[in-house]
Amino acid sequence: MSALFSSFRLRSQTFRNRIFVSPMCQYSSIDGFPTAWHLVHLGSRAVGGAGLVMMEATAVSPEGRISPGDQGLWSDEHGEALKPIVHFIRSQGAAAGVQIAHAGRKASTDAPWRGGGPLSQAEGGWSVIAPSPVPFATNHPRPEACREADLRRIVTDFTHAARRAHEAGFDVLELHMAHGYLLHEFLSPLANRRDDRYGGRLENRLRLPLEVTDAVREVWPETKPLFVRLSATDWVDGGWDVEQSLVLARELKNRGVDLIDCSSGGMVPDAKIPAGPGYQTPFATRVRTDVGIAVGAVGLINEPLQAEQIVRTNLADCVFLGRELLRDPYWPLHAARALHSDEKWPVQYERARP
């Protein structure tokens, strides 16, 4: 029996298999509201057999968007608009997840297909905030350092977004602490130069991410799993690294987080990342082994046998696929055939089953 296609349970949620859709920004929302694109995009991955379909980084506030086209969850109306998408995902046998985020100093940028550069206010951009007034890159604006009132509002915004995610029917919630966005910025010495209780030594740099985690776990139902996406390393000397990630992972486990989604990078534009097949999987394995928490592996996992080996040999509990599922929404169904697993096809497609 395929390990990749075995069921996986966290709290009261049982996933039909270990293939999870990574949250991937589509830059196609209007004022933070989903469009037909999101229903088709996410719905196709549910039809295609994934165990969990995770919605893209969804901003907890308008200024927390990466781009003007980002999905949002800063009002009850946004939550209502997501209900049909959640309903369809679940109707196809997949769990529905959403990642909530604040882009910090990487906010107010254009869509990638228009260059992805920072937007001026004349172009529809806005002022950005960060732990310290350190820009992401030379062509990015100098962010405003978060004040105490900003920090309290950020915690509140994440809390309200979590409540709305529950009310919209999502089964899984993920906190975005990776890829150089706001919570990761507080973790990394490369972006966090503060000299107050939110900066300096590791205990202080963990403070805001852990305050967000505590507040969210209070409102996110006890029966539902909570994930965290973490950049295990900045790939830069003097930045965030694996050893610090292990300290954070232990704290997250103690606060009711159920799974660490192990990614890396994103803090600076010029990091030297040795990308290759499965290059981030060792981070997941290290967290799983040292901390004793469920983990997901992500990063250039493209082949069914590769994914099977990761799960079967306990390198990770599940795999998150990104670009491979953009290329082929039905990758899980094809992988099931390759691994001789009797995965259920949608009844509408049964007549095409090999």
> What is the tens place of the pLDDT at every residue in 8-43?
999 999 999 999 999 999 999 999 999 999 999 999
3-state secondary structure of 191: coil
> What is the tens place of the pLDDT at every residue in 163-200?
999 999 999 999 999 999 999 999 999 999 999 999 99
Here the tokens at position 266 are: 């994103």
Phi, psi of 54 (to 5 degrees): -100, 125
181, 198, 279, 330: which is the annotated catalytic residue?
Answer: 181
Instruction: State the DSSP string of 274-325.
Output: ---TTTTHHHHHHHHHHH--EEEEESS---HHHHHHHHHTTS-SEEEESHHH
Burial class (CB in 10 A: 0-12, 13-18, 19+), 311: buried
- DSSP H helices in 106-181: 148-168
Distance in angstroms (rounded) separating the CA atoms of residues 316 and 308: 10
Q: What kind of fold does domain 8-352 have according to CATH? A: TIM Barrel (3.20.20)
**pLDDT score at 83:** 98
Under 8 Å between Cβ of 66 and 106: yes
Domain definitions of the chain by residue range:
8-352
**pLDDT score at 108:** 98
Contacts of 37 (CB under 8 A, 6+ apart): 26, 28
**pLDDT score at 342:** 84
Which regions of 60-202 does DSSP assign to beta strands (E)?
A: 95-101, 129-130, 144-145, 172-177
Under 8 Å between Cβ of 260 and 287: yes
**pLDDT score at 354:** 85
Under 8 Å between Cβ of 256 and 11: no
> What is the tens place of the pLDDT at every residue in 277-300?
999 999 999 999 999 999 999 999
- The amino acid at 286: R
181 is catalytic: yes
> What is the tens place of the pLDDT at every residue in 118-160?
999 999 999 999 999 999 999 999 999 999 999 999 999 999 9
Distance in angstroms (rounded) separating the CA atoms of residues 303 and 212: 36
**pLDDT score at 343:** 82
CA neighbor of 185 nearest in space, from 119, 259, 268, 120 = 268
3-state secondary structure of 190: coil
Residue 344 reports pLDDT greater than 90? no
**pLDDT score at 230:** 98
